[in-house]
């Protein structure tokens, strides 16, 4: 009944037709986990009983299919990200603890209706790109168990590619959200640093760590990212988005020239990289050579320079008392930071800024870079025999991205000539180009795709296609009866509207239940000086012509004004006249209209 890959578009369609329920999906997850031979994927799977209970609770509290953005969608979480009720180990049993609360990103995804199916394996303390550095075993490529799955987010990638989860969370410091995507034929979304908060995440290099998303398609990954993103004051490295665009016409894509090409003898990956260059030209882009040398030198700083000391800073006290509990390779890398000095740290920072200035010249040549995700792959046996040198090969084209504050999409690029192992490429662009980069990444994926995950025969769903932003579309914030799955949502979808993201307002908004409205509606009011936690809202966009007609139909006391979101941006949205709220029930403490309605069931 269910396809091999549990992508969002397919699951939502099955839910909408009432062909399957979240209970059915959880039963499939349970069966698939039990049948999968590679038992190293999960460190702590959610129990069968808890999965069934979560599905039942969702269907009781939100009985209408797809009434939440991620209603009944199963997802897995890398085990350095907190999930309340499950231990966090960072792949080190002696380090394990039981978090009292979800990480911010997990909490947002669960609030949107997604169900956690377990905590996944990783290179210990997220130190590695290969997936073999864990006492819980080495997850393997879904295509050949002799080969590595990639790391450090090894189990997270396999959980999606094997068909257990529709998406998963990883983390990425040096490429951990991208390399496993290539090795398992997935999309890996590495957001601009700070776009997704790291509250509740065990740090590797705290100043450059990113929470990442593995998904079957770019469209799925973007939809998930938009639920999880948003400023979080509890994370000192969280940032408010300052969205940047890319040229619609005459897009210039930087590609590797002969001097900087290095595939470590893997002619098949090089061939597929060249095919991706041909494909991106077919999409209308102009390819231009650029000098990768300063990017490569910046990449080297992450492991060969003083940034390794930041890995020690993350676990300093635990390392001092429990050094013997570390994986030998991880212990050697983190322990190597003991000799680093503050002088070296400052010199490294200075050199990075010098390299950043040099790379600015390369960004004048190209709007986007197209790089191999990894230049090659290796067997588990080979990696264990030469763990540091071979691991460094995987990071040749990934390590610089966070240091230089970029966004990246890793997408599949096809399989080798034997139809055996996949390859992938990554599109990289400057900070906050995430939304602008997504349509290009999706189009490139569709040009070179070979199925999704382990299902090489699967077609990418049309419903997940990412369309370029339309210049005649107008964004609008909705808070009540126009939300996804609500009675008036058809007024948005009917004229061609589409949802951009689920998010929250700034803290100084109150919400009231308006009496006597049909269907029931809330009224939102901005109150200067009020310190709440923000309200759950959705941002949609409508064709400009339809927007005017939509606004004209809004009944008093509701109207359209500027709504400030939690990332500091302002978007036109629903507000209520203050006089109409006298005597109305204040429902602000519920945090949003959905939660209020659920409390009344």
- Tell which residue, 181, 150, 155, 153, has the closest CA to residue 413: 181
pTM of this prediction?
A: 0.84
pLDDT of 326 higher than 90: yes
Cα separation of 598 and 502, whole Å? 18
Q: Over the stretch 287-301, which tens digit does the pLDDT of each residue have? A: 999 999 999 999 999
From first CA to last CA, the distance across the chain in angstroms is 31
HSE, CB side, 13 Å, CA atoms: give it for residue 120. Answer: 35
Q: CA torsion sign, 83 to 84 to 89 to 91?
A: negative
Per-residue pLDDT tens over the stretch 411-462:
999 999 999 999 999 999 999 999 999 999 999 999 987 899 999 999 999 9
- Mean pLDDT within 191-201: 98
DSSP reduced 3-state for 317: helix
User: Between helices 8-16 and 218-228, what is the axis angle to 10°?
Assistant: 80
Give the integer Cα–Cα distance in Å for 138 and 39. Answer: 9
12 noted as active-site residue: no
State the catalytic residue, choosing from 67, 134, 149, 152. Answer: 152
- 8-93+102-246+372-464 folds as Amidase signature (AS) enzymes (3.90.1300)
Whether 18 has a pLDDT exceeding 90, the answer reads yes
| 392 and 329 Cβ atoms separated by less than 8 Å | no
User: Helix or strand or coil: residue 278?
Assistant: helix
To the nearest 10°, report the CA torsion of 60, 64, 66, 71. 0
- DSSP state at residue 571: E
Q: Which residue has the tokens 């959880």?
A: 26
Contact at 8 Å (CB) between 352 and 407?
Answer: no
Helix 48-61 vs helix 22-35: crossing angle, to nearest 10: 170
- Residues in Cβ contact with 507 at an 8 Å cutoff, skipping those fewer than 6 apart: 530, 531, 532, 533, 534, 566
**Residue 471 has what pLDDT?**
62
- pLDDT category at 73 given cuts 50, 70, 90 is very high
Give 205: exposed, middle or buried? Use CB within 10 Å, 0-12, 13-18, 19+.
buried
Among residues 12, 67, 78, 374, which one is catalytic?
78
Exposed e or buried b for every residue in 278-307, given b needs 16+ CB within 10 A? ebbeeeebebeebbbebbbbbbbbbbebbb
Q: Is the pLDDT of residue 554 over 70?
A: yes
**322 vs 307, residue with greater confidence:** 322
Q: What secondary structure does DSSP assign to 95-162, as a single string? A: G-B--SS--HHHHHHHHTT-EEEEEEP-SGGG--SSS---TT---B-SS-TTBB--SSSHHHHHHHHT
pLDDT at 568: 79
Q: Dmax of the chain from CA atoms?
A: 74
Position 470 confidence tier, pLDDT thresholds 50, 70, 90? low
What percentage of the chain exceeds 90 in pLDDT?
86
Topology of domain 473-599 in CATH is Hypothetical upf0131 protein ytfp (3.10.490)
State the CB neighbour count (10 A cutoff) for residue 442. Answer: 24
Indicate if 67 belongs to the active site.
Answer: no
When mean pLDDT is compared across 90-99, 432-441, 493-502, 557-566, the lowest value belongs to 493-502
Give the model's pLDDT for residue 339: 86
For the chain, domain boundaries: 8-93+102-246+372-464, 473-599
Mean pLDDT of all residues in 180-195 = 98
Determine the pLDDT at residue 500: 84
How far apart are the C-alpha atoms of 237 and 480, rounded to whole Å?
A: 32
How far apart, in whole angstroms, are the C-alpha atoms of residue 280 and residue 147?
29
pLDDT tens per residue across span 353-366: 999 999 999 999 99
Which of 134, 156, 176, 374 is flagged as catalytic? 176
Which of 441, 479, 405, 399 minimizes the C-alpha distance to 195? Answer: 405
pLDDT of res. 351: 96
User: pLDDT class for 546, splitting at 50, 70, 90?
Assistant: confident
Question: How confident is the model over 71-89, as a mean pLDDT?
Answer: 98
Q: Write the DSSP assignment of 383-445 as a string of letters.
A: HHHSHHHHHHHHTTTTTHHHHTTEEEEEEEEEE-TTS-SEEEEEEEEETT-HHHHHHHHHHHH
Q: Is 168 noted as a catalytic residue in this protein?
A: no
* Strand partners of residue 571: 563
Cβ neighbour number for residue 213 with a 10 Å cutoff: 30
Residue 483 CA to chain centroid, in angstroms? 23
Rounded Cα gap, residues 290 and 538, in angstroms: 40
pLDDT digits (tens, 9 = 90+) for 243-281: 898 988 899 999 999 889 999 999 999 999 999 999 999
Those residues whose C-beta lies under 8 Å from the C-beta of residue 464, and which sit 6 or more positions away, are 7, 8, 9, 216, 217, 218, 219, 220, 442
Average pLDDT (17-22) is 95
Using pLDDT thresholds of 50, 70 and 90, give the confidence band for residue 497.
confident
Which of these ranges, 5-9, 75-79, 263-267, 473-477, has the smallest mean pLDDT?
Answer: 473-477
pLDDT at 407: 98
Percentage of the chain exceeding pLDDT 70: 100
């Amino acid at each position: 009944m269910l396809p091999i890959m549990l992508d969002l578009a397919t699951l939502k369609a099955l839910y909408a037709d009432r062909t399957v329920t979240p209970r059915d999906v959880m039963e499939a997850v349970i069966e698939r986990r039990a049948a999968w031979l590679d038992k190293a994927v999960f460190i702590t799977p959610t129990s069968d009983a808890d999965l069934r209970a979560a599905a039942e609770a969702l269907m009781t509290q939100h009985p209408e299919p797809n009434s939440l953005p991620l209603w009944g969608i199963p997802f897995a979480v890398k085990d350095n990200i907190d999930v309340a009720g499950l231990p966090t180990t960072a792949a080190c049993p002696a380090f394990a603890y039981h978090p009292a609360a979800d990480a911010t990103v997990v909490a947002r995804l669960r609030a949107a209706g997604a169900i956690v199916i377990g905590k996944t394996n990783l290179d210990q303390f997220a130190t590695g790109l290969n997936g073999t550095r864990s006492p819980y075993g080495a997850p393997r490529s879904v295509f050949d168990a002799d080969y590595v799955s990639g790391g450090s987010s090894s189990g997270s990638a396999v959980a999606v590619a094997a068909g257990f989860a529709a998406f998963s969370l990883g983390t990425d410091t040096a490429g951990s959200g991208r390399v496993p995507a290539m090795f398992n034929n997935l999309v890996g979304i590495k957001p601009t640093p700070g776009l997704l908060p790291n509250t509740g995440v065990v740090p590797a290099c705290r100043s450059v760590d990113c929470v990442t998303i593995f998904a079957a398609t770019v469209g799925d990954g973007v939809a998930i990212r938009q639920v999880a993103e948003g400023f979080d004051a509890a994370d000192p490295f969280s940032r408010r988005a300052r969205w940047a665009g890319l040229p619609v016409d005459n897009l210039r894509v930087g590609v590797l020239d002969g001097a900087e090409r290095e595939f470590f003898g893997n002619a098949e990956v090089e061939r597929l990289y060249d095919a991706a260059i041909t494909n991106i030209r077919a999409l209308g882009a102009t390819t231009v050579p650029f000098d990768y040398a300063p990017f490569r030198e910046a990449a080297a700083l992450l492991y060969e320079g003083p940034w390794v000391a930041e890995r020690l800073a993350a676990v300093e006290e635990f390392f001092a008392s429990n050094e013997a509990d570390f994986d030998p390779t991880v212990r050697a890398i983190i322990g190597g930071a003991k000799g680093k000095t503050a002088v070296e740290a400052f010199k490294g920072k200075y050199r990075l800024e010098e390299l950043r200035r040099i790379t600015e010249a390369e960004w004048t040549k190209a709007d986007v870079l197209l790089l191999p995700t990894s230049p090659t792959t290796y067997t588990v046996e080979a990696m264990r025999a030469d763990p540091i040198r071979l691991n460094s090969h995987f990071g040749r084209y990934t390590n610089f991205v966070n240091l230089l504050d970029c966004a990246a999409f890793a997408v599949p690029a096809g399989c080798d000539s034997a139809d055996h192992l996949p390859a992938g490429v990554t599109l990289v662009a400057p900070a906050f180009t995430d939304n602008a980069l997504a349509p290009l990444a999706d189009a490139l994926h569709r040009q070179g795709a070979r199925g999704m995950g382990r299902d090489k025969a699967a077609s990418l769903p049309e419903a997940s296609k990412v369309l370029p932003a339309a210049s005649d579309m107008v964004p609008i914030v909705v808070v009540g009866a126009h939300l996804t799955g609500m009675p008036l949502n058809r007024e948005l979808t009917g004229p061609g509207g589409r949802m951009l993201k689920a998010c929250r307002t700034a803290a100084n908004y109150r919400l009231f239940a308006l009496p006597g409205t049909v269907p029931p509606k809330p009224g939102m009011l901005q109150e200067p000086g009020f310190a709440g936690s923000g309200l759950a809202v959705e941002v949609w966009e409508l064709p400009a012509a339809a927007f005017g007609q939509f606004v004209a139909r809004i009944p008093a006391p509701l109207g359209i004004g500027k709504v400030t979101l939690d990332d500091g941006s302002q978007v036109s949205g629903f507000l209520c006249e203050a006089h109409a709220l006298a005597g109305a029930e204040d429902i602000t403490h519920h945090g949003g209209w959905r939660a209020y309605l659920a409390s009344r069931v």
